[in-house]
Amino acid sequence: MARILLVDDDPHLREVVRYALQRAGHEVREEADGAKALSASASWSPDLLVLDVQMPEIDGLEVCRQLRQTSQVPILFLSSRGEEVDRVLGLEMGGDDYLTKPFSPRELVSRVKAVLRRTQPAPVAPTSLLINGDLKLDTEAFRCFCGEVEVALTVTEFRILQVLMRRPGRVYPRAELVDLAYPGTHHVSDRTLDSHVRRIRQKLREGGADAIETVHGLGFRLKQ
């Protein structure tokens, strides 16, 4: 069972989603706007947010932006806009998945299950400390450092980097990287993976490390 914060200004949609999530065994709290979502996230400490993008005053993207300053809680975006640019923007701002309305309750529950599964702590290397030059990853403490600078990663970003750091210099094809970094889910596109890798690169560069290379036509590797 997970604690899920459901944020959408449509009461009918909230009722349908709440019922589906509760039937799946989750504890659900509802909010109707972005301001209340930020307050509830701080006081209730949910395991995941199901967050509508298009809300009045403070929209879902702004909620995500503010949350990412202090929290790495997984976020599943909901939106009535299915354009690729909107999906990419949501992922690049720190979202973990994106579901376009209308959707079936079964698909939503499946997406929630997949996000929760891949964001649960799970060691994928025999040692808790992975080191490559100035880049360090502590898999038990869930912390990333570039030299002495700590880099805040989402759970999904952390898992991707963890896979790459297990074997620096090895090229990981996109399909293999998806299998290793998103275990148990079948909803991850190349575009989603690329968005997460782009955000990891940006954060590492801000910390002083240019560590990930794209091997065109093949995939990604960590520089040795």
- Which DSSP string do the residues of 155-217 spell out, in sequence order? HHHHHHHHHHHHSTT--EEHHHHHHHHSTT-S---HHHHHHHHHHHHHHHHHTT---EEEETT
Q: What is the mean pLDDT of the chain?
A: 88
- Contacting residues for 69 by C-beta, under 8 A, at least 6 apart: none
Percent of the chain with pLDDT over 90: 53
How confident is the model over 136-156, as a mean pLDDT? 90
> From CA 218, how far away is CA 223, in angstroms rounded?
15
What is the architecture, at CATH level 2, of domain 3-119? Answer: 3-Layer(aba) Sandwich (3.40)
Amino acid at 19: Y
How confident is the model over 214-223, as a mean pLDDT? 89
User: What pLDDT band is residue 112 in, cutting at 50, 70 and 90?
Assistant: very high
How confident is the model over 87-103, as a mean pLDDT? 87
The reported pTM is: 0.60
How confident is the model over 137-141, as a mean pLDDT? 89
Note the pLDDT of residue 190. 81
> From CA 184, how far away is CA 56, in angstroms rounded?
35
Joined tokens for residue 114: 């997949």
Reply yes or no on whether the pLDDT at 124 is more than 80. no
8 A C-beta contact, residue 89 and residue 59: no
Amino acid at 219: G
List the domain boundaries for the chain: 3-119, 129-222
Q: What is the DSSP string of 7-31?
A: E-S-HHHHHHHHHHHHHTT-EEEEE
Reply yes or no on whether the pLDDT at 120 is more than 90. no
Note the pLDDT of residue 1. 82
CA atoms within 13 A on the CB side of 55: 26
Joined tokens for residue 204: 């590492």
Position with higher pLDDT, 85 vs 128:
128
CATH number of 129-222: 1.10.10.10
pLDDT digits (tens, 9 = 90+) for 10-57: 999 999 999 999 999 999 999 999 999 999 998 988 999 999 998 888
Classified as helix, coil or strand, 220 is strand
User: What pLDDT band is residue 60 in, cutting at 50, 70 and 90?
Assistant: very high
Note the pLDDT of residue 183. 74
pLDDT digits (tens, 9 = 90+) for 171-216: 888 888 888 888 766 577 888 889 999 999 999 999 888 889 998 8
